[in-house]
Amino acid sequence: MALVCALAIQLIMDTNPRPYDAPFAYVRHPFGNLPFGVNVALRIVFFPTLCALMLLAAYSLLLRSRRADPLLRRQIRWLVLTLPLAPLTLVLRWAATC
């Protein structure tokens, strides 16, 4: 579900009616353009959904680590160290296109 939501956000960003930044302002959007209102409405729906799904995934990982053996706990700990990068990347990408 999170992957579907992330792909939907990517498609929405790719159909933004504004032109690309320089030096690619002359390049057409590969999927065409959505009307601006539709684009914003879809962002309002899908972005919070993706954030909620990421929080649920983190909670699921917490429950899994509580039931795990010591080796799996160490592996999960390394994985958790990389988790802040995903939401930060999404927020920065979303902020750059607004």
Number of domains the chain is built from: 1
Distance (Å, whole) CA 46 – CA 11: 11
C-alpha distance from residue 95 to each of 4, 11, 43, 58 (Å)? 21, 16, 11, 23
Q: 60 lies in which domain range?
A: 2-97
C-alpha distance from residue 29 to each of 13, 62, 83 (Å)? 10, 40, 31
For position 34, what pLDDT does the model report?
77
For position 14, what pLDDT does the model report?
73
pLDDT per residue over 30-71, tens digit each?
777 778 888 888 888 888 888 888 889 889 988 999 999 999
* pLDDT range class, residue 85, cuts 50, 70, 90: confident
For position 71, what pLDDT does the model report?
94
Burial (CB < 10 A; 0-12, 13-18, 19+), residue 24, is exposed
pLDDT per residue over 15-35, tens digit each?
777 787 788 888 887 777 778
